């Protein structure tokens, strides 16, 4: 997969009571270009969001797969446990955003959460790879 973008996308209408992982993420420049080209026509925006969500989901799964490929450990078990909690909170809070917010904000919420989780898991996978290489 391509490297994450350096652009940060902010969702101004998102719930300020939620932490920034719901509202802000480093997303691909292709996503911003797609949104800009959509002229904010909802079917086109939805397509842009679906593409970005699929990309971020693949990143997250690839990082989890790297961690899962390591030896059995408390670390790996805890990542799995916290992944379940992270996804449940994402689903619950982004569904709430969908129900009370503007159109497509729930998907924007999910994109941000998945992108942020993918970045965190990639960092943990890198850390685990180094530890496994050292035999720890």
78-132 pLDDT, tens per residue?
999 999 999 999 999 999 998 888 889 999 999 999 999 999 999 999 998 888 7
- Take residue 128 and report the two structure tokens written for it: 């685990």
Residue 11: the pLDDT is: 46
- Please name the residues in contact with 21: beta carbons below 8 A apart, sequence gap of 6 or more: 112, 113, 116, 117
Q: Is the pLDDT of residue 47 over 80?
A: yes
Residue 9: the pLDDT is: 45
| Banded pLDDT at 134 (limits 50, 70, 90) | confident
Q: Is the pLDDT of residue 4 over 80?
A: no
Q: Is the pLDDT of residue 77 over 60?
A: yes
22-44 pLDDT, tens per residue?
999 999 999 999 999 999 999 99
In the chain, DSSP assigns E strands to 8-10, 24-26
Residue 136: the pLDDT is: 53
Q: Say how far apart CA 100 and CA 31 lie, in whole Å.
A: 24
Residue 136 to residues 74, 77, 101, 104, Cα–Cα distance (Å): 12, 16, 47, 45
């Amino acid at each position: 997969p391509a490297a994450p973008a350096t652009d940060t996308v902010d969702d101004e209408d998102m719930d300020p009571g939620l932490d920034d992982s719901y509202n802000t993420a480093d997303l691909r420049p292709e996503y911003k270009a797609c949104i800009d080209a959509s002229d904010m026509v909802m079917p086109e925006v939805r397509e842009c969001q679906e593409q970005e969500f699929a990309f971020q989901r693949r990143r997250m799964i690839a990082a989890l797969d790297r961690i899962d490929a390591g030896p059995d450990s408390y670390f790996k078990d805890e990542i799995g446990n916290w992944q379940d909690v992270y996804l449940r909170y994402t689903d619950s809070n982004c569904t709430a955003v969908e129900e009370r917010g503007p159109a497509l904000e729930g998907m924007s919420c999910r994109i941000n959460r998945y992108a942020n989780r993918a970045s965190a898991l990639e960092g943990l996978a890198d850390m685990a790879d180094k530890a496994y290489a050292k035999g720890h």
